[in-house]
Chain A
């Protein structure tokens, strides 16, 4: 069972791309999902809105798969809220 963040990212991609959730796995590449560069920018925007954070341009430009999106997002989230001491 994928973790919560993975499920949420997949749900956002599914919504923005009008794809069934089942058709997206963490291992799917943007190419397989027919997500072009403009779609990618839109997905990044949707995630920034959802988590109220900013994904830097250089990070966003490297995203070519669902896994890369999840990893980048996890990194931004942990940077935004440091773990309790």
Chain B
């Protein structure tokens, strides 16, 4: 089995449109959540979102943007940045350092090209338009991110898209890990991308009554693990990683950021929205076993931590079950408190945060924490970042529908 290493990544989120600003904001406990501006409507009660602002995404593209929904624009830009970060060429057409057929692309998305779909369907249903734009299908298909990255860089190896709601990117990264481990690919661009801030999607989330109530200060709306938490905050974003077989990465003299050491995936087979302790804890246990890590060797968990009542208490119980007494020594945090819940991209953004935590040996905090919840009684790193030794870390994603995915990363030795 091949060892898998992370050699580069690109990230876009409400907490920062590059790795440096993301880390600086998170380490300072600064929230990127702000009053919703993307959609203007007095028919929405949602007052807050994690929007990518003050960033000209379109300027990074030429004519090809006609065929790119916002989620695919973010996917392609992050993939290009990941390649640059990994000191790799932006195209593999030339066959170096990897033959095109040895390079795969695996992206996760929860909602795909929903901006395009929302706009097109509004025109035909709402405005009785007679025709929709012929690019509606190629722009809005869930796999567009994978296809567009593949075309942009000339990757011809195993390529597909995973859609498992809020765990999409984590499953995509885990399956990419499997492709490299088994030898099906030497390098995979993997991650997630989602742009769900449309009128229709926000309205639908409002109907579920799980969105955070924005108080006087929108930046404090998301309060994971705090007794006064009121729900999740919708966000957009993306992150893409370069994963390589360690052997081929070393051969080309790559800088290794961390080892992607393990992956665990399970299903609750229980309830379509209520999470289970068993499904989540088993996913963590499998990831630990796959990575060859004992519970006591893990120092940090970037939690799924949505800020809903049920997720957070279930996740803490699941961590206790998977880690036993070692749970007491863990540092845990939910950085969704600051970048929000970017749906299928969350797992990728949070893996980026986890890798940055490992590189800096600093645990980013759970922001907006004000009241301890007896049902969330582990160290959730309230409000202040904490420098500590981080040998290995987990990134958790537990989706609606009970689909669980966990990644384990180990410090580069």
Contact = CB atoms under 8 A, between A and B. Distances in A.
Interface string A41-81: 11011001100001000000000000000000000000000
A38 B136 CA distance: 12
A29 interface: no
A12 B134 CA distance: 16
Interface in A8-53: 16-18, 38, 41-42, 44-45, 48-49
A54 B130 contact: yes
Interface residues of B, number: 9
A49 B127 CA distance: 14
Contacts of A42: 66, 133-135
Interface in B126-156: 130-131, 133-135, 138
B215 interface: no
Contacts of A48: 131
A38 B138 CA distance: 10
A16 B65 CA distance: 12
A54 B138 CA distance: 22
Nearest to A49: B131
Contacts of A41: 134
A16 B135 CA distance: 13
Nearest to B63: A18
Nearest to B66: A42
B136 to A, nearest CB: 10
Contact of B62 (A18, A45, A54): A18
B107 to A, nearest CB: 22
A44 B133 CA distance: 10
B131 A45 contact: yes
Contacts of A44: 134
Nearest to B129: A49
B133 to A, nearest CB: 6
Contacts of B138: 38
B250 to A, nearest CB: 42
Contact of A17 (B63, B134, B135): B63
Contacts of B62: 18
Contacts of B134: 38, 41-42, 44-45
Most chain A CB within 10 A, of B62, B66, B131, B134, is at: B134
Contacts of B130: 54
Interface of A: 16-18, 38, 41-42, 44-45, 48-49, 54
Q: Which 10 pairs show the lowest CB-CB distances between chains A and B?
A: A41-B134, A18-B63, A45-B134, A42-B134, A45-B133, A48-B131, A42-B135, A45-B131, A42-B66, A18-B62
20 contacts: A16-B66, A17-B63, A18-B62, A18-B63, A38-B134, A38-B135, A38-B138, A41-B134, A42-B66, A42-B133, A42-B134, A42-B135, A44-B134, A45-B131, A45-B133, A45-B134, A48-B131, A49-B131, A54-B130, A54-B131
Given A45-B133, A54-B131, 17 more contacts: A16-B66, A17-B63, A18-B62, A18-B63, A38-B134, A38-B135, A38-B138, A41-B134, A42-B66, A42-B133, A42-B134, A42-B135, A44-B134, A45-B131, A45-B134, A48-B131, A54-B130
